[in-house]
Amino acid sequence: MFEKFTRQARVAVVSAQDDAKELGAKQIGPEHVLLGVVSNAEPGLRTVLDARGVTADGVRTALAERASVTPLGADDAEALRSIGIDLDAVQASIAENFGPDAWGRAEPEAKRGVFGRLLGSGHIPFTGTAKKTLELALREAIHRKEREISTAYLLLGILRAADPATTDLLGGRDGVSALRTDIYGMLDQAA
């Protein structure tokens, strides 16, 4: 499928991997593909994104802020306490049994197979949702009888599978809907 991508769409997907790594993600999610698309949008899509105020710096800043938030904060601790779970006691028990840094390394590393471990491959996997956005981009292009998948189709794939993270980055449901309409309008004008 990658051979059907325009040059800019390929760059966007590669950029998504680089951005995910830079942001400390263990997998490439649709939010990273969004950042790759916004950073590498083709001219027509760039105009649509600019008109909606969607910028690479804005998306990158929002993702960096999310990455810096602790997975279980005060609100989570309070919610757990309400059902009888003391998060501080759980963390203390984990530190006692597995070492002081165990809580920070609780998430297992992705398995890369024998060659990946030997060669130290720098690739990180796509999440299922991110893969789905690429598939939906292909479907969007096929539906419009296009031979190539441009950054506009990548973004339409992201919008079709919009999860809460990407929906928030694009201004909520109304932002997603308006952006989809603008992209279709841009594609109709180009046809």
Within this chain, do residues 147 and 186 fall inside the same structural domain, yes or no? yes
pTM surpassing 0.85? Answer: no
Within this chain, do residues 89 and 171 fall inside the same structural domain, yes or no? no
What residues does 5 pair with on adjacent strands? 149
Output the six-digit token pair for 156. 């339409």
Question: Cβ contacts of residue 178 below 8 Å, gap of 6+?
Answer: 52, 171
Output the six-digit token pair for 179. 């952006």
Number of folded domains that form the chain: 2
| Domain end residue (candidates: 60, 85, 111) | 111
- Given this model, what pLDDT does residue 93 score? 82
Within this chain, do residues 10 and 94 fall inside the same structural domain, yes or no? no
What residues does 149 pair with on adjacent strands? 5
Residue 15 near residue 39 (C-beta atoms within 8 A)? yes
Within this chain, do residues 176 and 141 fall inside the same structural domain, yes or no? yes
Per-position pLDDT tens, the chain of length 191:
778 899 999 999 999 999 999 998 899 999 999 999 999 999 999 999 999 999 999 999 999 888 766 666 666 777 778 888 887 787 788 878 887 776 665 554 544 444 344 334 568 999 999 999 999 999 999 999 999 999 999 999 999 998 888 999 999 999 999 999 999 999 999 87
